[in-house]
Structure 1
Amino acid sequence: MTSPTSTRPDQLPAPVLGYLTAHVAHDADAALRGFAPTAVVVDDGTTYRGTDEIRRFLSRAGAEFSYTTDLVGAQRIDGAHWVVTNRLEGDFPGGVVDLRYRFAVDGDLIAELVIAP
């Protein structure tokens, strides 16, 4: 695997940009369009597999809190792997957290997303 390189957000692959835009807008349907039918999402120790489970995750994730999201970093790991760091600030426990969104992209779709501090 090559060394990660910092990148500008506009250089991220289209499905990653689409997901990030939809995430900020709290638009689960738009976010889901970027995922492969067999994609996997891991968040807070729970794994979501396939379109139906990912749709449930997207519609519920963070819904009980009000928060803002700021992209604070992006790295290209290799041609298929990207890491985006978002800072969330809001009324959730702790109030501020930097989350790393590790994307695996297959063609024009997200195959895997792992979200972790």
Structure 2
Amino acid sequence: MSALTLPEPIAAYFAAEHNPEALAHCFTAQAVMKDVGHTYRGINAIKTFMAEASAKYSATSVPFAIEREDGFQLVRANVSGNFPGSPIVLSYRFRLERGLIASLEITV
């Protein structure tokens, strides 16, 4: 089985999933993130949400597929942690801009 090759900001995002400070460096200043039916705008809001989610769910994401779709990078990952339905496959829809994540939408 070959390793999945992800664009640098996406690889950095998954590598830093339990480090909100490192995660903040993956996003543009005006980034928008959608997850669990909520929208987070800007690095501070994203960082706060990610810190709370990491503490609450202790989720680990393992990307297994990537494809390009209408200017987006669509990554599918196995996610396990302390939440109902674990493990689950989630889709991460990234839009990259100047080497950073400009938007991210996470869905089932």
| TM-score bracket relative to the smaller structure | 0.7 to 0.9
**Separation in structure 1 between the aligned mates of residue 37 and residue 98 of structure 2, nearest angstrom:** 27
- Contact 1:39/1:111 (<8 A) preserved: yes
The count of aligned residue pairs is 106
RMSD: 1.6
Match of 1:65 in 2: 57
Q: CA deviation at 1:15?
A: 0.8
Q: How does 1:74-85 map to 2 (within 5 A)?
A: 74-77=66-69, 80-85=71-76
Match of 1:9 in 2: 4
**Separation in structure 1 between the aligned mates of residue 58 and residue 50 of structure 2, nearest angstrom:** 15
Match of 2:83 in 1: 92
Question: Aligned AA for 1:73?
Answer: A
Larger Rg belongs to: 1
Q: Classify 1:108/1:67 alpha carbon distance in 2 versus 1 (closer, same or farther; 3 Å).
A: closer
Q: TM-score, normalised by structure 1?
A: 0.81
Q: Among all aligned residue pairs of Structure 1 and Structure 2, give the percentage whose two residues are the same amino acid.
A: 36
Unaligned runs of 5+ in 1: 1-7
**Aligned with residue 41 of structure 1, among 33, 38, 49:** 33
Unaligned runs of 5+ in 2: none
Q: CA deviation at 1:86?
A: 1.1
Match of 1:21 in 2: 15
CA deviations over 1:54-111 (Å, ceiling 9, x no partner): 1111111242224432222111225x41011111123311122111010000111110
